[in-house]
Structure 1
Amino acid sequence: MFQTAFTLSLTQFARTLSLPERLQHSPARNLALEGLRQRNLALDALFYDVKSITPEEAFYISDSLAAEGAIMLIPPSGLGALTLCETIDEFVLRGGGDARALAVAGIGGSALGAAAFARNVADAIDAPVAVVVSGYGIADVITEALGGSFFFGHLRDLRPLLESLDDLAGRPKVGAQSDGTAARTSLDTRTVQALLADPRLSFRLLTGHSKGNLVLSAALHNLSKQDEGRVAELARHTKIVTIGTRIAMPPVFRDVVDVMGEWDWFGEINSRAFIHADRRVAQAWHHTNTDLGGHLPVTTTLREILAASPIAESPKTAEHQDETLGAISKPAMPNTEAPSPLVQDGRQKARVETVQKAFPVNIAAGTQPAGFGASDDVQSTKPH
């Protein structure tokens, strides 16, 4: 529990240091929301395995805790630092094409909780994971006052409609901004949808926790209305694992595993009654913090699920490996045994080291990767 408390305290301290800078933009909005954002940070520290985030990473994301729509690339533990991106183009540039999983967290919606959940997933698959920050703004305050944070499945259409208030109050422009055709879709959902629709990205695992499953479901349903071909392609090669809440996905997705804790009454209240749990974790509640009793172990549970039903290899990755093998030796002996798509430690470490060399991060020196200039409260000054 000490590690959880240390990470939380460090993040809160670092965020306090950046408060004067954040108050330069929309001071009334930021002052009104800061206390609630700090509360949600504490909730995420309880519900997620935040000790998996290093002190340097916690400091790095401290001023972007509520940057709804921001995208992070989370490598497995010990294989490099996380990367925070404003746009999908930046995400791809910084190595997002290597991500084989997309995760969406719930509960507090802070970047710390999202990073911790994604780190658990990355450790389970031994590969980088993309994760979208849900954030916390004016729309969340109103829906929470109406009970939306508890019965979020029944008030899912209210938050997107209220997000226009956040835009009027000066919300930073990160993530997949609306072009006017997605007014009824929240920013985190739009960003997840844009990631799934991007042909440069190839996810083989989609997973969410709690309210994150609702965001994932909404993004997939919206995408199915706009691009049936893309959704059909995703459904052929993608496994979906929901944790803590059972939410209906588009019918075309057949490989869906719904995971619930044995004691998770909160998740049951917010789940669809007609969907039955495929896996119940004994003596587990809604939280995933391994420092606390009654937790749902995300990494262990995912490993067991994937061992029973592995994720398909990415066609792009397989093609690249074939070209590489052909260039090294020819003729090549036929490979009668397909390599594991997830356990590729050597290749993964090389990829992460390449990204680190291209985009060095020196948190101790107080610097950030070049090109990232937006917090949850400060408009980006980076040229586009």
Structure 2
Amino acid sequence: MSTLDTQLVAGLAPAFKRRNAGLDAWFYDTGALTPDEQAGVGPGADEEGALIVVPPGGSGRRIRHHPDIAHFLAAEGETVQALVVAGVGSSALGTAALARNVADAYGIEVAGLVSGYGASDLLSEALGGWFFYGATDRFRHGLRELGRRLQAPTPPAPAPSGGRVGARAKPVSPLADLDALAALLVAAPPRLRLLVGHSKGCLMIDHALERHADALRRQGRDSPLFERLRIVTFGAVCDLPPVYRHRHQFLGALDGFGGLNSRLDLPFTRVSGAWHHLNRHLPAHLDAVACLREQVPLDGLAA
């Protein structure tokens, strides 16, 4: 992290973290976490790019914390089966709550990638991260359609100076959360079967998947994740790369916010009576646990 980045984060991130944790307490099912668990994933607990591992509720196991993807893969790479990326406030609290929902749906431990809080993210976080990822998703879809019509591979967009070449532009400053997700896809842990996003997290997942698929295509390689991985989005319908064969997208029927950055011409499940939030203690919630249990079967997962 640069000196400027460090100074900006030191000055502004605490306020953003408190705000974002407050947002996530409303948007996510934080009641599924015990008070002690909530305290352990408070605003100062985990930074951008950190990972937490959340067991099912009532299991008696504690939430585990890893500062970065390297530590996570060294400790959990052989056993991780599912990973979530939250959006809205992008806090550790929201991440843990979403991971708990997925853990309860399948009875397994679930990893969560904490996003946000770098200085490069402050403007993006202030806007919820929607405009960058949503616009680039539409831009990439246009390139893909043009490539299909020309019967040629979709041309990648030019990378910013010093940046990576990919199908979509990315911010000039590296993002620890996006880089961590990209590293996970490259590592392709042997038991990883499920990737779940909500809100901005869906769009970040889409961005990382496209980057991963493009890199493999240029190398003439395949990935076991193309067939094995189930990708689930809540609150945003994305143009997910079709090489990932199992895609499940859910959008609340009342969710105009998510619809603003969704590709509504793509297949998705509209959830009746639901808005953008996953908090089962509030009206008009989208019940992630029920959607997963009823519509995304995962055979072979083990607790």
Shared fold per TM-score greater than 0.5: yes
Q: TM-score normalized by structure 2?
A: 0.78
2:138 matches 1:119: no
Q: Deviations over 1:181-205 (max 9, x none)?
A: 6485522111011112114443111
Question: Which residue of structure 1 lines up, in the alignment, with residue 291 of structure 2?
Answer: 301
Residue 140 of structure 1 is aligned with which of 108, 121, 132? 121
| Whole-angstrom CA distance in 2 between matches of 1:98 and 1:269 | 37
Given the alignment of the two structures, is residue 204 of structure 1 paired with residue 193 of structure 2, yes or no? yes
Change (3 A) 1:88 1:187: closer
Deviation at 1:300, TM superposition (A): 1.0
Indicate conservation of the 8 Å contact 1:73/1:91, yes or no.
no
Say which of 66, 71, 83 aligns to 1:85.
66
Listed as ranges, the gaps of 5+ residues in structure 1 are 1-24, 158-179, 312-339, 349-384
Pick one of 51, 57, 62 that aligns with 2:31. Answer: 51
CA 156–66 in structure 1, closer or farther in 2 if over 3 Å, else same: farther
| CA distance in 2 between partners of 1:235 and 1:36 (Å) | 36
Deviations 1:158-213 (A, max 9, x none): xxxxxxxxxxxxxxxxxxxxxx7648552211101111211444311111111111
Residue aligning to 2:147 = none
Q: Give the Cα–Cα distance (whole angstroms) in 2 for the partners of residues 75 and 231 of structure 1.
A: 32
Indicate the residue corresponding to 1:131 in structure 2.
Answer: 112
SS of the counterpart of 1:62? Answer: coil
CA distance in 1, matches of 2:293, 2:180: 27
- Give the Cα separation in 1 of the matches to 2:223 and 2:8: 45
Unaligned ranges ≥5, structure 2: 138-161, 165-170
Name the counterpart of 1:186: 175
Q: Which residue of 2 aligns with 1:247?
A: 238
1:114-149 Cα shifts (integer Å, max 9, x gaps): 11001101111111112110022333332356x564
- Tell me, what secondary structure is at the counterpart of 1:197? helix
Q: 2:27 matched to 1:38? A: no
Stretch deviating more after TM superposition (128-137 or 54-63): 54-63
- Is 1:290 aligned to 2:283, yes or no? no
The match for 2:80 among 90, 99, 116 is: 99
The equivalent of 1:165 in structure 2 is: none
- Name the CA distance, whole Å, in 2 between partners of 1:292 and 1:113: 15
The structure with more radius of gyration: 1
Q: Match of 1:167?
A: none
Offset at residue 26 of structure 1 (A): 5.3
2: CA distance between counterparts of 1:196 and 1:259?
Answer: 23
Match of 2:55 among 75, 78, 86: 75
1:184-333 aligned within 5 A: 184=172, 186-228=175-217, 232-277=223-268, 279-306=269-296, 310-311=297-298
Distance 1:299 1:88, change over 3 A: same
- Bigger shift: residues 224-233 or 122-131: 224-233
Separation in structure 2 between the aligned mates of residue 101 and residue 249 of structure 1, nearest angstrom: 18
SS for the counterpart of 2:56 is: coil
Contact persistence 1:70–1:84 (CA under 8 A): yes
Structure 2 residue 40 is matched with structure 1 residue 60: yes
Tell me the CA shift for residue 35 of structure 1: 1.9
Deviations 1:334-381 (A, max 9, x none): xxxxxx513x4xxx3xxxxxxxxxxxxxxxxxxxxxxxxxxxxxxxxx
1:252 is paired with a residue whose SS is coil
Q: 1:155 deviation in Å? A: 5.2
Residue 82 of structure 1 aligns with an amino acid whose one-letter code is I
Q: Residues 132 and 29 from structure 1, CA distance in 2 versus in 1: closer, same or farther, beyond 3 angstroms? A: closer
Contact 1:289 1:295 in 2 (8 A): yes
For 2:86, the aligned partner's letter is A
Q: Provide the identity percentage.
A: 38
Q: Tell me the secondary structure at the aligned position of residue 227 of structure 1.
A: helix
* Alignment: residue pair count: 265
Shift of 1:110: 0.4
| Aligned-residue offset at 1:42 | 0.6
